[in-house]
A and B are shown apart, each in its own frame.
Chain A
Amino acid sequence: MQTRVQLPAAPTLSNEERDVLHDVGFDDMDARSGTSVLVDHEMRVAVSKDPGVEILPLAEALDTYDFVQDLMFGLASPEHDAHVATVAEHMHAPLGHFVWVKPGAKVRMPVQSFTLLETPQARQFTHDVTLIDEGAEVEMVSGSAAPPAVHRGRHISILECYQRPGSVCRSVSIDHWGAEMDVFSYGWSRLEAGARGLSTAVMLSPIRRSVSRSVSILEEGASAVSQAIVFAPEGTEREIFTETRLAGAGATSEDVARMVSSGGRILNDAVLIGDAGGTSGFLGRDGLKLADQGEIAAIPALRARAEGALLSHEASVGMIDGEKLAYLMASGMEEDAARDLIVQGFLSLEDDRLPEGVRRRVV
């Protein structure tokens, strides 16, 4: 594997590991407030450089802080389904991190966390717990990856994220698994009164099957803005299920997904639930179909359970507009280059929320 000239500094990781992780957002540990890296079944790095951030292996956090046992499976049920139950069976020795952003901490540099599956055909079950305490503000970058030589394997992950009142979390997650892997990701998050979450999920690499399920609960005055960028080449199947519950008065959410299939299958099933009055939410699902093969299924659903819940959605699936293609080609671009530019624009790959390294790789 070719090694980049400037790899992020991380003494406990090999050059190849850093190279692989760099593609999913890993940066120099000195430029991060905290870093956690899980490699196969080992928590290789759990370091904080900011007094406002604590990062521990989850098993150690359970021993260190009593309250962590209440956070673990505090949002998720161990009996949710067979995959979650599989992870729960390892509760005696949980594999994953505990990230705690302390009350009132305004964390200057991002916190980064990564999972790497290095052993072919390995089975990896992880459970991460994140607590962003009252009034804290943090930016988080997380990534999951397998080296190019690792095609097959199975990964199941659970993430439980607690945002206490008034906290702010901006997050970006990127996955780049092996092309023949099966990955099941579960995420639960609770945003308490006045908390704000801004998240971007990037799912662009080929993968045999990826199933992602997430549930977000927004309490009084909480707000969430999320966007997902999804690409499925031929041979890739991605299923994404999201549930957003506007549970408290004044909660707001905006959840947008942009999906491109060049022969793969994408199912995006989203439900927005207004459980309280004075809430508002929007679901946007846009798809671009580049080939006859494959499928894009966008299923946005609204469920209003309280008077005064204002919910809306928009969904579209189409092909590349011939007029846009001709417009770019009339400047001298070949058709493939013009298509690439349109698709990159559609996927918002120039979004400033993406780390520069990630943007360079995928653009």
Chain B
Amino acid sequence: MLETRSLSVAIGDKRILNGVDLTLPEGELHVLLGANGSGKSSLLAAIMGLPPFEVVEGEILFDGAPIQDLDVHERARLGIGLAYQRPPSLEGVRLRSFAAALGAEEALDREAAALDLTEFLGRDMNVGFSGGEIKRWEILKLRLQDPRLLLFDEPESGVDLEHVSAVGDAIRRAVAAPDRAGRVCSGLVITQTGLILDHVAADRAHIMKDGRILHSGDARALFAHVRDHGYTVPRAA
């Protein structure tokens, strides 16, 4: 579904990602591990096409077609969606208006009820939301958008421990369910703490360091390695 080939990304003159090769097959859920500043969020932003990230080398392929020259809304309409770690507040923009602008009014109440967000619907987007509320809203936002490739930027950050399972379960369900056209979805999740791994069945993990993918492997084994040895390449067994 998603493939990056020798992907290099810059902000102005500064390189952020260097030759990233990543393959995410249809129906799989992968996680990105790495220290702060390793390039995880930049990779998700570059896949989504957010400014100010610019692809300076390589390709991003979605369903086999290059998308690096497409505008952000065109990528979203192809079926890529991003749950932000720290979304901006949009004062005066009610969640219902956002759903209406997406043409997803009908889905709103149903999806909100599933995420226990019904009481939010009269509120302004991300205004005064707690950490956990932001994460649940970002998942609801993806459900309204109905993407096939779901990108999650640190979905457990700022969430109480007791609510991490709810967020994790919601991510698992969102990725496991087909989109409204019945197509299989995939997910790419950034995690710092690894807590989310208790709730999502990750197929594979990738360690990022200095804007590169250092190593890829089994998600749980790799996280266990990171916990003991930091963001390094595991020695061959």
Interface centre among A335, A349, A350 (most CB of B within 10 A): A350
Interface string of B42-78 (1 = CB under 8 A from A): 0000001111000000000000000000011100110
Question: Are the CB atoms of B93 and A345 closer together than 8 Å?
Answer: yes
A331 close to chain B: CB less than 8 A: yes
How long is the Cα–Cα vector from A163 to B97 in the complex, in angstroms?
37
Interface string of B72-111 (1 = CB under 8 A from A): 1100110001101001101111100110011000000000
A240 close to chain B: CB less than 8 A: no
Which of chain A's residues have a CB closer than 8 A to the CB of B84? 327
Question: Are the CB atoms of A329 and B90 closer together than 8 Å?
Answer: no
CB < 8 Å neighbour of A350 from B50, B51, B72, B97: B97
CB within 8 Å of B: which of A24-61? none
A344 close to chain B: CB less than 8 A: yes
Which of chain A's residues have a CB closer than 8 A to the CB of B73? 329-330, 332-335, 338
**Total number of A-B contacts with CB less than 8 angstroms?**
72
From residue B202, how far is it (CB to closest CB) to chain A in Å? 23
Q: A348-B92, A350-B97 are in contact. List 16 more A-B contacts (CB 8 A).
A: A321-B88, A324-B88, A327-B84, A327-B90, A328-B101, A330-B50, A330-B82, A331-B81, A331-B102, A332-B77, A341-B97, A341-B98, A342-B90, A344-B93, A350-B92, A350-B94
Interface residues of B (CB under 8 A from A): 48-51, 71-73, 76-77, 81-82, 84, 87-88, 90-94, 97-98, 101-102, 124, 141, 144-145
A side interface size, CB within 8 A: 25
Which of chain A's residues have a CB closer than 8 A to the CB of B82? 330
How long is the Cα–Cα vector from A19 to B151 in the complex, in angstroms?
48
Interface residues of A (CB under 8 A from B): 321-324, 326-335, 337-338, 341-342, 344-350
How long is the Cα–Cα vector from A329 to B72 in the complex, in angstroms?
6
How long is the Cα–Cα vector from A334 to B73 in the complex, in angstroms?
6
CB < 8 Å neighbour of A323 from B49, B88, B92, B124: B88
How long is the Cα–Cα vector from A332 to B102 in the complex, in angstroms?
7
How long is the Cα–Cα vector from A186 to B49 in the complex, in angstroms?
51
Question: Are the CB atoms of A332 and B92 closer together than 8 Å?
Answer: no
Query: Closest B-chain residue to A363, C-beta based?
Result: B97
Which of chain B's residues have a CB closer than 8 A to the CB of A350? 92, 94, 97
Which of chain A's residues have a CB closer than 8 A to the CB of B91? 345-346
CB < 8 Å neighbour of B76 from A321, A322, A331, A335: A331
Question: Are the CB atoms of B48 and A324 closer together than 8 Å?
Answer: no
Question: Are the CB atoms of B51 and A322 closer together than 8 Å?
Answer: yes
22 residue pairs A–B, Cβ–Cβ below 8 Å: A321-B88, A323-B88, A324-B88, A324-B90, A326-B50, A326-B51, A327-B87, A329-B72, A331-B81, A331-B102, A331-B144, A331-B145, A332-B73, A332-B102, A333-B73, A344-B97, A345-B90, A345-B93, A345-B97, A345-B124, A350-B92, A350-B97
